Structures are given as C-alpha cells and as structure tokens.
C-alpha cells in the first residue's frame, strides 16, 4: 500500500521541460499525473520557450496538488524536446520527490520518458512510465509505474 501513496508524484514532471536562449518566448504548461488511483495536477507552470522548440519548465513554478496526503516536488527543471513529425514530446530525465505520512520522502527518477500528441494541439498523454527510486530508503518502493500523464502547453 505504501506504493499507492507515492505513485502519483513520481512522474509529475515527467515531461515538464530545458534551457532555451534568452530571446525565446516563455510559455506555460498544465499537467496531471495519476498512479494507483492518486492524481496530482498543476496549472500555469512557466516554460522557457514554446513548442516545438526545446524548452525547460521552471521546477519552482510546478506547484501540484494531489489527492490524499501526498506532496510532490519537482527536484530540477527537466528538458523537453518535441518531434512534431512523430507527434511526441520527450524528456531524458525527470527527478521528483514524493512525501507521504509514515513513509516520509522518497526520490525517484524517470528516464527517457515519451508522451504522444493528441490531435493538432499541444496536449500530450502517456502511460506505463517507470520511475526508479534513487533515495535508497527502506520504506520507498524500488520502482513505480505511472498509470497516466497529461500535459498541455499553452
């Protein structure tokens, strides 16, 4: 049951985005992550650019709210690249901390995450992402599977 509490935060930033040139236009991203029945979501996190340009989401502006008693923090600002021909968005590395009562704080890393574009807009969805625990704490599950993610860039 401990894994159900932590799952929602694991890929929270799974694709919330890297640095762009200073002249780039800033954008925003809304997101939602669900794992083991727990959902975390946020709105209006700041990005360093707009798709299809490679961008970074400022991790300090991702302020998720989660069902239940889980809190989640994006540990760094991940890079997101877009492949419009393939209809995908990808991030090589996302680091997240999830805190739950009794368990405490666990840190996870999602690597090589890819989500699929929906239609012609800038909403991307995915599922089955795997997060690997990096904090080496006894109560933290070694891996977590993310049930679904959705990101809308605007």
Please tell me whether the peptide bond between 104 and the residue prior to it is cis, using omega within 30 degrees of 0: no
Say if 154 falls within a structural domain.
no
Say if 50 falls within a structural domain.
yes
Residue (of 2, 23, 8, 22) closest to 97 by Cα position = 8
Q: In this model, does residue 49 exceed pLDDT 60?
A: yes
Residue 24 is predicted with a pLDDT of: 59
Residue 36 is predicted with a pLDDT of: 73
Write out the residue range of the structural domain in which residue 116 sits.
2-149
Say if 114 falls within a structural domain.
yes
Domain total for the chain?
1
pTM of the model: 0.84
Mean of the pLDDT values across residues 80-100? Answer: 95
CA distances, 67 to each of 4, 8, 35, 86, 115 (Å): 11, 9, 11, 33, 23
Helix (H) or strand (E) holding 46: strand 38-47
Helix (H, G, I), strand (E, B) or coil at 121: coil
Give 51-77 pLDDT, tens digit per residue. 999 999 999 999 999 998 888 999 999
Structure tokens at 114: 């890819």
């Amino acid at each position: 049951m401990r894994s159900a509490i932590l799952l929602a935060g694991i890929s929270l930033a799974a694709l919330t985005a890297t640095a762009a040139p200073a002249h780039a236009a800033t954008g925003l991203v809304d997101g939602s992550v669900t794992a083991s029945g727990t959902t975390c979501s946020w709105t209006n996190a700041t990005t360093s650019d707009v798709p299809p340009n490679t961008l970074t989401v400022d991790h300090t502006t991702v302020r998720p709210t989660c069902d239940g008693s889980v809190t989640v923090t994006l540990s760094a600002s991940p890079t997101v690249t877009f492949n419009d021909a393939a209809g995908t968005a990808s991030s090589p590395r996302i680091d997240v901390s999830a805190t739950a009562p009794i368990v405490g704080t666990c840190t996870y890393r999602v690597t090589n995450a890819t989500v699929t574009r929906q239609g012609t807009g800038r909403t991307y969805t995915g599922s089955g992402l795997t997060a690997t625990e990096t904090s080496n704490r006894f109560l933290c599950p070694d891996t977590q599977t993310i049930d679904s993610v959705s990101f809308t860039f605007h």
